[in-house]
Amino acid sequence: MDKFMKEAIKEAKKGRDEGGLPIGAVLVKNGKIIGRGHNKRVQEDDPVLHAEIDCFRNAGRLGSFKGTVLYSTLQPCYMCSGAAVQFGVKKVVVGESENYTGTEDFLESRGIQVVDLDLEECKRMMGDFVDSNPELWKEDTGDI
């Protein structure tokens, strides 16, 4: 498995272990992780603190995000995809898109390459969470 996706999975497990959603992300530039994050909506009582947003925040002000690759354990939602578009990310690598189909068409229509690794570990981790916490998952996806 890709070393950067392994790091995103570590972030997802942090979120899960903190009582939140098991979604993690890392931002890579020139072969180095420059930001990492996990979904903290529950922990921080913040409706927009998705893993990708936390990752961008932790990367800080780069001046330019061009040339970066965003890794996420789950296909990003429209809010997080919009941030990737806004910052000029050119590639998004996702662990899975079975539990949430996300915005692959939206990203690709904006010139962002999407690579879905279709990883069993990511599918199982997210699927177990969705099965155990359907209301929290619906809140996260806006399906309430």
Which residues are tagged catalytic?
A: 52
- Give dist(CA 137, CA 114) in Å, integer: 23
Q: Chain-centre distance of CA 44, in angstroms?
A: 17
One-character DSSP codes across 41-89: HHHHT-TT--HHHHHHHHH---S--TTEEEEESS---HHHHHHHHHHT-
One-character DSSP codes across 107-120: HHHTT-EEEE---H
Contact indicator for 81, 107 with CB cutoff of 8 Å: yes
Amino acid type, 53: I
